Every structure is written in C-alpha cells, then in structure tokens.
Amino acid sequence: MQTSSGIPLLTPQLPDRAALQPYLERIDHTRHYSNFGPLVLELESRLASRFSDQGKQPLEVVTVSSATAGLELALTSLDLPPGSRVLVPALTFVASLTAILRAGHLPVICDIDPHSWLLTPDIAEACIASSDAKAIIAVATFGQAQDTLRWQALQQKTGVKVVIDAAAAFGSQWLLTPDIPVVFSMHATKSLAAGEGGFVVTGNSEQRQMIKELSNFGINLNPDTQHPVGHLSYAGTNAKLSEYHAAVGLASLDTWQQQADARQAIYHRYQHLLQSMCGETLVWQHGPLPAAPTTFSVRVGSDARRIKLEQLCAVQGIGTRRWYQPLLHRHAAKVGPILHLPTPVAEAVSSDLIGLPFSPFLQDGQMQEVAANVLAAVSD
C-alpha cells in the first residue's frame, strides 16, 4: 500500500487577519454591524461596477446571507402564482431544489447536455412544452458559465422566467442582459469567500429593491411607494449580510485575481497531468476553463472504476466526493413533491463522475499522487 499524509478534498482560501484588519477597524469605528451598513454597500457597489463593466450596461447587486437565500428570494421576486412549475437540472447542488420548494413552487427536474453537463436553453425549451413550466433555474454547473443572451432569447420567446444559479461561477459568469437575475455564493469554499454569504446581480432596479426588502423581513424600505416605510410589503425573511461578512468579502475581493490565477494554473496542470497519464479514458466537462475553479470533477468511465478509485483514495486519506450526487430527484422523494422528466444524460454522467482533491494550495507532488491512483483505478 502506498503511504500518504493525506490530501484534503478542498482547502478554503480566505483573507487572513492582516487583510481583514482595515475593514474590522472600520466596523469598530462606525459601530454598524448589520442592516445594510457601509461595508455591505461598498461590497455591493464594487461588485456592481465589475458586472456593469463586463456586461456593458448598468447592473445592480444586492447581497444576501447565502446563495440559497438569494435563489429563494430571486424566485419569489418573479411573482409567479403559488405552485408554479420550475425547471431545474438533475445534476446540481440540493440548494437549487430547496429554493424552489421554499419559494412555494413545484420543481420539474430535467436533463443536461452530454458535453457541458449544463441545462441549456434548447433542453429547457423542450421541457417547457411537456411540463408547462413558468420559470427555470439554469445552473452554471461546476463554475461553467451559462449563456445569458440565449436564455434571454428563450425568456422573450416563451415568457418563462429565468434565474441563473451561478453559485460557484464568480469570475466566469457575467450578465449580458438586464432581465435575468444571477445568484452567486460567497461560501467559504468559493473563490470570492466571505465565510457565508451571497449576492444577486440584476439590471432591474425594482427586482433588486424587492429582493432587498425580502431579505429584510419583507419590510418596505422605499419612501417612493404608496405603502408606508417600515410596514410589511411581503412575507420575507432575514437574509441580510452582516458587516463582518462584508468585511471578509471585501478583503477577499482585494486579492481575488491572484487567487483566480493560482486556481486556474493548478487546474490546468492537474488536468494536463491526468490526461497525459490516462488519455481518452477520462471525460471532462466541455467548455472554457472556469476563471477560478473551486472543484475538480471527472468521469472515469464506469461505476466500478469510480468505486475502485474511492477505495484506493480512502485508505490513503485522499479526499473524494461525488459532487452533486445523488441526482436531485433521488433526494426529492423525502423533501417534497416534484415532477421528474426523463434524465438519461444526467444518469449517465452521474454513473462515473467523481470529484478529486482541489484547492489553490494543491502541490504538484499531491497531483501526481492523485493521478497515480486514478491511473490504477482506470487500468482494468
């Protein structure tokens, strides 16, 4: 048996206390800890400029306590009739599903593209016809960006509303159209990390305002409406981002580019090493390399090989995870009513998909150790 000191599946990179200090000093000074404080507003404004520059149009940002909350509130802001059917791909994190249920709607689980592993506008269009869906959660799976212009075209053609779940796609997912909200995560495992947190980008000021109010219990914050400020407009929740989380998010943003470069370079070397050792046996998600990858998943050719690899890794303390598995409909039986359309591609992808260790700290020797195990598992 090989010896190994172990390789963690994932090691978060967050700002250290020196990087946090200037922001924490500002909190000490203002004594503003939550409720849309100056650091939250600064983070929203810096992110909005970044997205507006890239999207070449004015875009706005509202922070929330997590991407999960952001998805629920973005869906709520669509003002769909209760119980509306909402398409969601089978291969995604469970939060894409729970957000639909918690917003009072019925998830319709659908298939993915065999190459990009994404729910695409073409797949969605076929599913709308068979399910009468009123909205879609299009996921930027494993950080692979969704094409917002193609989604906008589908939204305009069908009237079906689109929300993009770009939880892990900061740096890759941009918004080239104002009318589709995009939700990002700032969880510790993401490249722009605040510990916990998230934000929604939209070009629609009314939608941003509604999401902000929904994140603040549903209290009306807008003096320009008929409704008095301070009275409830909606049955919202508390999904505000605290000043402490905003401090971490701002410090993380200060050095994000260096982290993204490191993540991309490591991903590239790692993938190249595995390809050179295992060749055609491995199947990767098609599409451009994400700007700041946070996970590393590959198809190894069969469930038997995957099990062998998991066993080899387990005895050496090398972390693996079947990311986004089981598929959503296998969870859903326990948590709520769903509709499940045929998902043969997602079933095939999830039959041999495995996540290997990945972080900005991964050393070349560790990559070689993982690769040796992958080679052993696929050499049958």
Ligand X SMILES: Cc1ncc(COP(=O)(O)O)c(C=O)c1O
Minimum distance from residue 268 beta carbon to ligand X (Å): 22
The closest alpha carbon to 316, from 273, 272, 366, belongs to 366
- With CB under 6 A as the contact rule, the residue among 13, 63, 66, 173 that binds ligand X is 66
**How would you list the strands of the sheet with 60-64, edge to edge?**
60-64, 198-202, 182-185, 161-165, 135-139, 85-89, 106-110, 339-340
- With CB under 6 A as the contact rule, the residue among 187, 208, 212, 263 that binds ligand X is 187
Q: Is 165 in the site for ligand X (CB under 6 A)?
A: yes
111-130: which residues touch ligand X (CB under 6 A)? none
Q: Which is nearer to ligand X, 96 or 259 (by Cβ)?
A: 96
Residue 129 φ then ψ, to 5°: -60, -40
Point out which span in 90-98, 102-110, 225-233, 263-271 binds ligand X (CB under 6 A): 90-98
**312, HSE (Cβ side, Cα atoms, 13 Å):** 18
Q: How far apart are CA 355 and CA 371, in angstroms?
A: 13
Q: Is 358 in the site for ligand X (CB under 6 A)?
A: no
- With CB under 6 A as the contact rule, the residue among 63, 76, 96, 120 that binds ligand X is 96
Point out which span in 9-17, 37-45, 165-173, 230-238 binds ligand X (CB under 6 A): 165-173
DSSP 326: S
In order of 277, 300, 356, 366, the CA distances from 271 in angstroms are 10, 13, 11, 13
Contact by Cβ (8 Å): 19, 29: no
Q: Which is nearer to ligand X, 356 or 378 (by Cβ)?
A: 356
- With CB under 6 A as the contact rule, the residue among 92, 155, 177, 252 that binds ligand X is 92
Contact by Cβ (8 Å): 145, 169: yes
Q: How far apart are CA 34 and CA 286, in angstroms?
A: 41
Contact by Cβ (8 Å): 112, 91: yes
- With CB under 6 A as the contact rule, the residue among 93, 174, 270, 358 that binds ligand X is 93
Q: Is 168 in the site for ligand X (CB under 6 A)?
A: yes
- With CB under 6 A as the contact rule, the residue among 27, 90, 95, 200 that binds ligand X is 95
Minimum distance from residue 23 beta carbon to ligand X (Å): 20
- With CB under 6 A as the contact rule, the residue among 76, 146, 173, 185 that binds ligand X is 185
Q: How far apart are CA 161 and CA 184, in angstroms?
A: 18
Minimum distance from residue 63 beta carbon to ligand X (Å): 11
Point out which span in 163-171, 238-246, 252-260, 265-273 binds ligand X (CB under 6 A): 163-171
Minimum distance from residue 79 beta carbon to ligand X (Å): 22
The closest alpha carbon to 184, from 125, 127, 123, 252, belongs to 252
Give residues in contact with ligand X (CB under 6 A). Answer: 66-68, 92-93, 95-96, 139, 165, 167-168, 185, 187, 198
